[in-house]
Amino acid sequence: MARRAADSAARAYHACFVRGFRITLTCDCGAMTSARYGERWTCPECGKSWDTSHIPREDYDRLLRSVRRYRLLVLGPPLAFAAVLMPLAVVVGVQYALLLFLLLLGWGLLVMPKLRSRATAHVMRNAATWKLSPE
């Protein structure tokens, strides 16, 4: 059971990373949903159909690149710390594992909040709001 849940979470993360994130659609009648780029949605309340492929691909790709860059900035340095310090902890001494722990703790508590707020501000500043027309 736990294995299936882990596989499901991994597939969801992979789908988001590879295919991109979901776009929030709001119908004229007020119904809301989210769909991936290129998907079509028909409002269950009024029957209008919305197609996300009408969003300019360049705008969507630019937004997707900034989100992926943020993920690289979040995961890159901790993985680099681990790649260097874990072999040292195994070969030389356990003090390098403690150093890794302290570095990751400092990264998570001191660097990540600033990085997250800066990345969110950047995405919000450069994010476009598209006005789609129903088909």
State pLDDT tens for residues 15-39. Answer: 444 567 788 888 888 888 888 888 8
- Do residues 28 and 48 make contact, with C-beta atoms less than 8 angstroms apart? yes
Full-model pTM: 0.60
User: How would residue 8 be classed by pLDDT, with cut points 50, 70 and 90?
Assistant: low
Nearest 10 degrees: CA dihedral of 105, 110, 116, 117? Answer: 160
Give residue 64's pLDDT. Answer: 84
Give residue 14's pLDDT. Answer: 47
Give residue 11's pLDDT. Answer: 53
State pLDDT tens for residues 65-86. Answer: 888 888 888 889 999 999 999 9
Token reading at 55: 């969003």
Widest pairwise Cα distance in the chain: 68
- Residue spans of beta strands (DSSP E) within 19-103: 23-26, 32-35, 40-42, 49-51
